[in-house]
Chains A and B, each alone.
Chain A
């Protein structure tokens, strides 16, 4: 087999091997890449930064482990900023695997905050985790009337009325914004019902694949910020001053993209060489 033919039809296992090695090696080699901050990410950061201590935001965690790498760092960074600013956080999960993700994120964020500042954030006082309910559209509409309609108790079975933080929070009128971190279509419902009907300011953190779908809403002002994929997560980690897994993942993603581009170039060289050969033979 000639070189051009080999370049045209590389066995997929070589592609897998090259990508796997590139990911492993780039994880081990210490280097960094610049993380330019987009306006979409900065808007979210600035919004939370200008809130006063005691204000509340609603953090909707609607993803499962499949999108963990991209979305979990966003959640942790947002929680870090809120805890540091003493902003109260109402957490919900409208995806069936969301409660475990939300509980894990809260545990991590609370532990990290305690390690940094020595201050223990308390469930029911500094944050509330309401848990999961199916049918996101109905639940979003229900919470717009009163959080207690879909969530009479929190995730741990404690009546919402008995939680000190919820005494002054009835519905979306009492939160400054909804921050939806999502790998599902729940984001569409938050835009249509949360922002569309109740006019509550909405920002989203979504996977890289989903991000382009929501830019029309960003242009129209229906959402005031977007964190798109690993890049968005890395931007927010940079903004809150704790570069973590997303920033580290960006260099891996960059190397992986580079490998893919190399294979695309090889494939095209092979394609043109073969086409030229075919034309000459004709």
Chain B
């Protein structure tokens, strides 16, 4: 029963979602509203709680044992507490000025800065990776350069470079992307069917 119950739940839920998708009847919509829209957030709240407990435990252990870089764990816990407290209903909930301030002046600059640093790594990686070592590497190199220079005013060459870049994006790139999308789609369908029908059971673990 320990293995059969999860399989039954997965089968029932999977089949329900497939049929619901193709039946636009109001009864189907009512069941969907009841079964699908309410349950995942409830499960999500428990998952979030587990995540927070885990984070607090790991950070607290690190601080108490004075592990390497333990000071950062204090920042983590303070940040967690500050955001939770600021978002409590007594302080105005998600629209409170304290939440807005933390987002605008802490989270927003941090996230934007970290992502901006990528450009430096990309520049360094492009310098090292784009070498004409073989025919295929040369094609990749030329394509990359054409796509990069397509925005530049190049006088009489602007139009031809722009059209070549469009061709690279719309023909070979698109063919590859389409093949990947169709392949991934078929893979998702087959994996989903295997899970719903109980053929694929590795997610249940070994016990």
B62 at the A interface (CB under 8 A): no
Chain B residue with minimal CB distance to A264? B130
Chain A residue with minimal CB distance to B174? A215
CA distance A130 to B148 in the complex (A): 39
Q: Which residues of B are found within 8 Å of A33, using beta-carbon distances?
A: 151-153
CA distance A264 to B125 in the complex (A): 10
Contact A100 B100, beta carbon cutoff 8 Å: yes
CA distance A133 to B41 in the complex (A): 9
Smallest CB separation, A146 vs chain B (Å): 9
| Highest count of chain A CB atoms <10 Å: which of B100, B120, B149, B153 | B120
Q: Which residues of A are found within 8 Å of B177, using beta-carbon distances?
A: 212-213, 215-216
Contact B108 A65, beta carbon cutoff 8 Å: yes
**Knowing A134-B41, A135-B40 touch, does A271 contact B112 (C-beta < 8 A)?**
no
**Knowing A15-B124, A66-B112 touch, does A253 contact B104 (C-beta < 8 A)?**
no
Chain B residue with minimal CB distance to A263? B127
How big is chain A's contact interface, by range? Answer: 35 or more
Contact A271 B152, beta carbon cutoff 8 Å: no
B119 at the A interface (CB under 8 A): yes
Contact A257 B148, beta carbon cutoff 8 Å: yes
B178 at the A interface (CB under 8 A): yes
Bitwise, B118-131 to A at CB < 8 A (1) or not (0) is 01101110111011
Per the 8 Å Cβ criterion, residues 95-123 of B in contact with A are 95, 99-100, 103-104, 107-109, 111-112, 114-116, 119-120, 122-123
Contact B37 A254, beta carbon cutoff 8 Å: no
CA distance A173 to B123 in the complex (A): 46
**Knowing A150-B37, A216-B181 touch, does A16 contact B111 (C-beta < 8 A)?**
no
Contact B152 A219, beta carbon cutoff 8 Å: no
Chain A residue with minimal CB distance to B110? A65
Contact A231 B95, beta carbon cutoff 8 Å: no
CB-contact partner of B151 in A133, A253, A268, under 8 A: A253
Interface size of B in residues (CB-CB distance below 8 Å): 52
Q: Which residues of A are found within 8 Å of B85, using beta-carbon distances?
A: none
Bitwise, A244-282 to B at CB < 8 A (1) or not (0) is 000000100110111111011011100110000000000
Q: Which residues of B are found within 8 Å of A216, using beta-carbon distances?
A: 174, 177-178, 181
A197 at the B interface (CB under 8 A): yes
Contact B174 A258, beta carbon cutoff 8 Å: no
A241 at the B interface (CB under 8 A): no
Q: Which residues of B are found within 8 Å of A142, using beta-carbon distances?
A: 33, 37
Per the 8 Å Cβ criterion, residues 168-216 of A in contact with B are 197, 212-213, 215-216
Smallest CB separation, A219 vs chain B (Å): 7
CA distance A157 to B96 in the complex (A): 12
CB-contact partner of A19 in B109, B119, B132, B151, under 8 A: B119
A-B contacts at CB below 8 angstroms, number? 136
Contact B124 A65, beta carbon cutoff 8 Å: no
Bitwise, B6-47 to A at CB < 8 A (1) or not (0) is 000000000000000100000001001100110011001000
Interface majority SS (helix, strand, loop, mixed), chain B: helix
CB-contact partner of B169 in A65, A155, A215, under 8 A: A215
B173 at the A interface (CB under 8 A): yes
Contact A68 B112, beta carbon cutoff 8 Å: yes
Smallest CB separation, A177 vs chain B (Å): 21
Chain B residue with minimal CB distance to A19? B123
B53 at the A interface (CB under 8 A): no
Q: Which residues of B are found within 8 Å of A36, using beta-carbon distances?
A: 162
Which positions in A face B, CB cutoff 8 Å?
10, 12, 15-16, 19-20, 33-34, 36, 64-69, 97, 99-100, 103-104, 131, 133-135, 138, 141-142, 145, 149-150, 155-157, 197, 212-213, 215-216, 219, 231, 250, 253-254, 256-261, 263-264, 266-268, 271-272
21 residue pairs bridging A and B, Cβ less than 8 Å apart: A12-B124, A12-B127, A15-B124, A16-B123, A20-B120, A97-B107, A100-B108, A134-B40, A141-B32, A145-B32, A145-B33, A213-B177, A215-B177, A216-B177, A219-B174, A257-B149, A257-B152, A260-B126, A263-B123, A267-B131, A271-B131
Which positions in B face A, CB cutoff 8 Å?
21, 29, 32-33, 36-37, 40-41, 44, 93-95, 99-100, 103-104, 107-109, 111-112, 114-116, 119-120, 122-124, 126-128, 130-133, 141, 144-145, 148-149, 151-153, 162, 169-170, 173-174, 177-178, 181
Q: A231-B151, A257-B152 given. 17 additional CB < 8 A pairs? A: A15-B123, A64-B111, A66-B111, A67-B115, A100-B100, A100-B104, A149-B37, A212-B174, A215-B174, A215-B177, A250-B151, A260-B123, A263-B123, A264-B145, A267-B128, A268-B141, A272-B132
